[in-house]
Amino acid sequence: MEALELVSSNKIFGGFQKVYSHESSELKCKMNFSVYLPPQAEGGDVKLPVIFYLSGLTCNEQNFITKSGFQRYAAEHGIIVVGPDTSPRGVKIPGDDESWDFGVAAGFYLDATNEPWAKNYRMGSYVNKELYDLILQAFGNVVDGERIGIMGHSMGGHGALVSTLRNPGLYKSVSAFAPICNPTACPWGVKAFSGYLGEDKCKWVEWDATELVKKYDGPPLTLLIDQGAGDSFYIQKQLLPENLVEACRSVGVPVILNLREGYDHSYYYISSYIGEHFAFHAKILKA
């Protein structure tokens, strides 16, 4: 097992918010990730569900753990929560820090095939293989590998949806706040996919939730999509939840779209509804 280094540990709502670092073999750099261990994990004699949370553009592992208030709900439901960073760090590829929506802190949770990104920008395999397996091993005494869910925000909402749809059964529950639902059809996605995947659009559809759901052939899933109606990125058509909902309905995949009047794209919005998302996941993972 890879060596984990404890970066920080803070008691919150009776459990512990921890941050670890490790050398990632997929990304070929040192990465931080967060783990919240709820009070039910103490003693290590019960196996608990896990939720992975994928953050959005410009974030690292800190935003979610300091701003969302999720720990209250994780403690109530007895759920372990894991939060990776949003891109490789410190690999210094030319151009990786020129944009806030590409390169550093903008890995889009995919495996790049285009140079110079293909060697390090493998956030898809990092989250769904390396980190997933690492959590099962390192926290095996308290993690129930059969009850793992995923959620995310914006670029991380895209990541949560794509991770679930590409890996049937890996995640039993999925939800997203203001996800990029149809990246092949929005400016953020076109920029990222052009850079990471190149110009062959056949590759793009393999990382687009709206396209993937049309071909989904795994265990039954209900997608929970949350969207602030006052979110400027929604209004600018970067997010396109209606496209995903239409695709789901065309193939009979259950989807819930909650539009929230007056809410924006920020953690103020996420914190207002993350309790509902934890209840949604808990109902599935603890059924």
- Closer of 38 and 107 to its own copies (Cβ): 38
234, burial (CB in 10 Å: exposed 0-12, middle 13-18, buried 19+): buried
Number of residues counted as binding its own copies (CB under 8 A): 22
Q: Chain centroid to CA 112: how far?
A: 17
Q: Is 69 in the site for its own copies (CB under 8 A)?
A: yes
Percentages (nearest 5) of helix, strand, coil residues in the chain: 35, 25, 40
Residue type for 176, please?
A
Tokens at residue 231, please?
């979110």
Please state the separation of Cα 156 from the chain's center in Å: 4
- Is residue 71 part of the contact set for its own copies (CB under 8 A)? yes
78 scored as a contact of its own copies (CB under 8 A): no
Pick from 12, 118, 190, 205 the residue near its own copies by CB under 8 A. Answer: 12
Query: Applying CB under 8 A, does 271 fall inside the site for its own copies?
Result: yes
Could you give the string, one character per residue 127-156, with x where binding to its own copies holds by CB under 8 A and - elsewhere?
Answer: ------------------------------
Q: Applying CB under 8 A, which of residues 72, 129, 191, 214 lies at the interface with its own copies?
A: 72
- When asked if residue 268 is in the footprint of its own copies (CB under 8 A), the reply is yes
By CB under 8 A, residue 272 contacts its own copies: yes
**Residues with active-site annotation:** 154, 231, 265
Q: Which one among 43, 94, 220, 262 touches its own copies, defined by CB under 8 A? A: 262
Length of the chain: 287
- Closest CB 224 distance from its own copies, rounded Å: 19
Q: Within 13 Å of residue 30, how many CA atoms lie on the same side as its CB? A: 9
Spatial contact of 10 and 52, defined as CB atoms under 8 Å apart: no
